[in-house]
Amino acid sequence: MAWKIIRPLFGRYRDKTEVSTTFSVRTSNISDPNIIAEEFCKHFTNVGKETAGTIPNVNVDTYSFLQNSLQNYLYLTSTTPFEIFYILNKMKSKKVLDMMVLVCRC
């Protein structure tokens, strides 16, 4: 909803009823669907790496951005029997038997 308000402010109107068949790549226009697909593939393969390369390295402790200390903080969410069963099934047999004994004692 917000983009419907923001786009007109920047003169960006998008009519999504029609897809362009010609694209500008560097200094030329292309209309061959195979070349278009290849260029999109190149773009989306490299855009993350290229963008990450523009972010400067800094020596800042990431915890310094937190307002309150989380040193003694532990957050637990409720679980379901299915989640427990799923995790136990992923463990080695001996560990599963030991865990089942603990679960059954509770």
The Cα–Cα gap between 25 and 36 comes to 9
In a domain, 46, yes or no: yes
What tens-digit pLDDT sequence spans the chain (106 residues)?
566 766 666 666 666 667 788 888 888 899 988 988 898 898 889 988 889 889 888 888 877 777 766 667 777 889 888 888 787 777 766 655 665 666 555 5
User: Per the structure, how many domains does the chain have?
Assistant: 1
Query: Is the residue at 22 inside a domain?
Result: yes
Instruction: Give helix 81-90 / helix 93-105 axis angle, nearest 10°.
Output: 150
Q: Is residue 79 part of a domain?
A: no
Residue type, 50: E
32 domain residue, yes or no:
yes
Q: Which domain range does residue 29 map to? A: 16-53
State how far Cα 9 lies from the chain centre: 29
Domain assignment of residue 41, yes or no: yes
Question: Token pair for residue 49?
Answer: 């790496």
Confirm whether 78 is domain-assigned.
Answer: no
